[in-house]
Structures are given as C-alpha cells and as structure tokens.
Amino acid sequence: MVKHVGLFIAIAGLAFSAGFAVAETLAQSGRDPQFENGAVKVWKTLVLPNNPLPLHRHEHPRVLIALRGGSMKILEDSGKSELHEWQTGKAYWLDASAPGTSHQDINVGDKPIEVMVVELKNEK
C-alpha cells in the first residue's frame, strides 16, 4: 500500500508540473495592474519568449523588480536596441522614455520573464 501512495504522489506531482507548464505556454505576454494612487502606478508584467509586448512608452521613470529574471531586449521604434540582464530578486532603475520614442520589450531567452514595475507618476 505504501508503494502505491508514493507512486500516486509522484504521478500527481508530475501532472501538476505539466499542468503548470501548459498554463504558462497558453498565457500571453502583458501587464496585470496591481495598484495606483497619486504618486505611483504598479503593474506586474509577464513577457514570454518570442512573444514581445506591443510598442509603448513610459512618461515617467520606474523601478523594476525581477520576480523571474532573464534577458530582455528593449527595441526602440528607431531600430536602436539594448539588452538588459535582470536577475531574479533584484531591483533596477529605468528612466522615462525619450521624447517622441516608443519601444517594445522582447524576451530573448527561453523562459518567461516576470517583473513588478513601480512607475513614479510625479517624476519626469
């Protein structure tokens, strides 16, 4: 009986892991609003490999906390790009977008990147 219980737990664990992996592959890159007041706007962003965010811009600087890090390419509409290496659990400063520019975030790795972003609404 004990052997069967252990086998059941192992199979259940594999099924859960497979279900989680399937759920991640079905998700879309995008933002999930968390909180907003007069000083800050906070959102969680998921960027899947080969599924970039649409072109956008940031009017204010922001702090980014990598919940699941990775390699993110920031591609401006001008064609200029820069690569950011975000480590899980670390925080990063990102300036406001330059006037008249837009960019998109492209996960160039093979695992999802998830970040929490805190935009400072009263800063330029």
| pLDDT tens-digit readout, 23-58 | 455 479 999 999 999 999 999 999 999 899 999 999
Q: Is the pLDDT of residue 79 over 70?
A: yes
Q: Fold for domain 30-120? A: Jelly Rolls (2.60.120)
SS3 95: coil
CB atoms near residue 69 (< 10 Å): 20
Give the list of residues 6+ apart from residue 97 with CB closer than 8 angstroms, or none. Answer: 57, 58, 59, 103
How many CA within 13 A on the CB side of residue 44?
10
**What count of Cα atoms within 13 Å lies in the side-chain half-sphere of residue 23?**
6
pLDDT at 13 over 60: no
| Prediction pTM value | 0.76
Contacts of 99 by beta carbon, 8 Å cutoff, 6+ apart? none
The domain spans of the chain are 30-120
Q: Residue 91 is which amino acid?
A: A
CA dihedral of 74, 76, 80, 85, whole degrees rounded to 10 = -10
DSSP H or E stretch at residue 93:
strand 91-94
